Amino acid sequence: MPEYKKTNHHLAVCSANYLRLKKLLASFSKYALKLRNNDEKKYFRAELEYAEVSKHTAELRLNFSNLESKLLHTFSFDCNIYHDVELVEVASFNGYAPNKFPFQFERYPKSSDEKSQQNRFFTEVLDMILTGGFYE
């Protein structure tokens, strides 16, 4: 049953992203964080805004900028955080949300694994922030 493999993989990715964010936001005690990386070759900026919606859920916006590139200068992630199950899921990337229903008609159809792609890319950005020498 391939749908279970997809679901399990998706849950593993979202769970790992929760731990990455927990580390970045110091167990969710920080509500805003501005980071930058300035080495000889690259200059990046990351801004995280954390908004608590309820005891069990929250919203996060991550803007990640490559200040040296004119093409794809800024990536923007809107995420939903579920503290009760310790998951973070990308709700939209650069304003584009994956299809909520397989039968939903859209003017510009997306790929069938758009949700998975957005969450994997979010993982890569978080890993880059955690391992790339970013500072406040």
48 near 33, Cβ under 8 Å? yes
| Residue 76 CB burial class (10 angstroms; 0-12, 13-18, ≥19) | middle
Using the 8-state DSSP alphabet, how is residue 83 labeled? T
- What does the domain layout of the chain look like in residue ranges? 2-131
Can you tell me the distance from the alpha carbon of 75 to that of 123, in angstroms, rounded to the nearest whole number?
A: 13
- pTM of the predicted protein model: 0.85
Helix (H) or strand (E) run with residue 106 in it: none
Rounded Cα gap, residues 70 and 74, in angstroms: 9
Encode the chain (136 residues) as per-residue pLDDT tens digits.
455 677 888 899 999 999 999 999 998 998 999 999 877 777 889 999 999 999 999 999 999 998 776 666 789 999 999 999 999 999 999 887 776 555 556 565 556 678 888 999 999 999 999 998 888 8
pLDDT at 9: 87
DSSP class of 66: E
Token pair, residue 110, equals 């997306």
Contact 41, 29 (CB under 8 A): no
Residue 107, both tokens: 């003017």
- Asked whether the beta carbons of 53 and 46 are under 8 A apart, the reply is no
